[in-house]
Structure formats: C-alpha cells, structure tokens
Amino acid sequence: MSEHDKQAGVKTDEQEFEVVETEAGRQVRHKGVYLLPNLITTAALFAGFYAIVAAMNGHFENAAIAIVVAGVLDGMDGGVARLTNTQSKFGAEYDSLSDCVAFGVAPGLVAYAWALTDLGKLGWVAAFIYVACAALRLARFNLQAETSDSRYFIGLPSPSGAGLVATMIWLGESRGVEGNDVAFLVAFLTAAAGLLMVSPVRYQSFKEFHIGRVPVRALLGVIVAFAIIVLDPPLVLAAVAVVYIGSGLVFDGAARLRERRRAKS
C-alpha cells in the first residue's frame, strides 16, 4: 500500500475482518467473529453440502445421514452460543444461510435424485416446493424471532422437515427400497413437509428446557433413548419425525377448536 493510501485511510484486504452490529441503538464494530458457535454452524453447512455431493454420486444413505448430522449440529450451535455468551447477529444470519443449504436445498435435491427424477415435472415441482418453502420459513422466522412466543415455532421447523425427508430416504435405502418404486409417496411427503413449514401450525420448540443440573432419572431417560435409537436408527428417527409432525397438527388443531368454543360462549 502506498504512503498516500495510508494517509488517506484507504481500507485494503490486509485489514482485519470487521462486523458492524446495532446494539442499544448504536452501531458497534467487532473485529472478527466468535469461533466456536460459528465453527459448529460451518460444520452443519459442510454436512448439507456433503449430502448434495453424495446424492450426485448415488450414495443416498450417506446423504441422508449427513442431513441428520446437520440437524444435530444445528441444535448445538445456538445452545453453545448461549452457554458461552457468544450470541451475535452475525452468527444468527450465518446460521440461517447454513440452514437454507442444509435443510432446504440439500433435502430437496437428495429427494429428487433418489425418487423424483422419473416423475418429470411433477418431481421437480415437488422438490422445488420444499426448497422454496424452507427459504420462506427461514425468512419468516428471522422476522418473527424477537416478537414470537419462544415456546413455540410457527410452522414446522426446517430441521424437522429436513429430518422427515432424510429419514424417509435413509429408511428406504436401509430396507433396499428403490426410490422410483415409492416416487409418488416421496413427492407427497416432500411437498407436504415444505407446506407445513410455511403453515400457521404451532410446534413445540422445547427452548424452555435448558442444559444444566437435571435429576438422575432424566439422565437415565437420555441413555434409554440413545439405546433405542441405536437399535434401528433410520426407523426410530423416522418415527420420531412423524410423531413430532403429527403431534403439532393434533395439538394445534385442538387449541384452535378450544378457542372457537370460547369465542362462541
């Protein structure tokens, strides 16, 4: 850099990466970003990217597992940020972009490559509905994050929608089922998962449960849950996804029915 540039204060590529955020109504510059939560987010992004590459190479079981791993990592980064007090607006935006790849683009493309190619336009329309709804879901979540009830998600969370698609593919691959044989079912479930993400259905967020001291029986419950998952991971995880999605529909429907009865009375 020339002396003239130094005197003029011209920014160059050698300058440290800065993030400008608004705190308490004023702009604050942060040099660099928090490593640990953003590293976990990057790992989730990589898992989503790997799922796409694995599907392109015909390794659909590995692709489905990668999406499930991305879901686990996505559940970790926010918790780690809160535990270490390293939350930031940059981290939240980066997490949303990572989610769009790992839980939007990746599941849609993997489902299309596994089962929907022979359906022609119907196949890619079903996949696109899922991807577009995932992007809309994330955009709406970012807008409502500060005003919505933290106990509930409005619409199916994108990791849960991705989990349904991924475990469905994983279960089929583990049972030797060809995607083309269940193409219409895959198209329906993929599109339905996408539409549920932008629906007004409320789903439990479980954010009221914090990591910390817990009763011994709670730890025992976690151990039993892990043991059950290990018995048949694709079947158990697919069942968990279906139960979670179904429970949201049932409880939200019951709550709306009670509200209507109160309004009439």
Give the model's confidence band at 13: pLDDT under 50 very low, under 70 low, under 90 confident, else very high: very low
Task: List, for residues 28-69, the tens digit of each pLDDT value.
Answer: 555 556 678 889 999 999 999 999 999 999 999 999 999 999
The reported pLDDT for the residue numbered 33 is 63
Kindly state the tokens that stand for 42. Answer: 């990057």
If pLDDT is split at 50, 70 and 90, which confidence band does 20 have?
A: low
Residue 198 within a domain:
yes
The residue ranking higher by pLDDT, 204 or 187, is 187
Q: What angle do CA 120, 129, 254 make, to 5 degrees?
A: 130
pLDDT of residue 5: 47
At 31, give phi and psi (nearest 5°). Answer: -85, 115
- For residue 7, is it within any domain? no
Torsion 236-237-240-241 (CA) sign:
negative
Looking at the chain, how many residues does it have? 265
For residue 165, the model assigns a pLDDT of 97
Q: Are 64 and 51 in contact (CB under 8 A)?
A: yes
Residue 3 lies in a domain: no
Spatial separation of the C-alpha atoms in residues 19 and 203, rounded to whole Å? 33
What is the extent of the structural domain holding 150?
18-256
The answer to the question of residue 2 being in a domain is: no
pLDDT for the residue 75: 85
Q: Is residue 12 part of a domain?
A: no
- With left for phi above 0 and alpha for psi between -120 and 50, is residue 33 left, alpha or beta? beta
Output the domain CATH number for residue 88: 1.20.120.1760
Residue 251 domain flag: yes
> What is the rounded average pLDDT of the residues 213-224?
79
Residue 265 is assigned to a structural domain of this protein: no
178 in a domain, yes or no?
yes
Q: pLDDT tens-digit profile of 129-156?
A: 999 999 999 998 888 766 666 778 889 9
**What domain count does the chain have?**
1
Give the angle subtended at the CA of 19 by the CAs of 13 and 23, to the nearest 5°.
155
Question: Looking at per-residue confidence, does 85 or 260 come out higher?
Answer: 260
More confident position, 51 or 15: 51
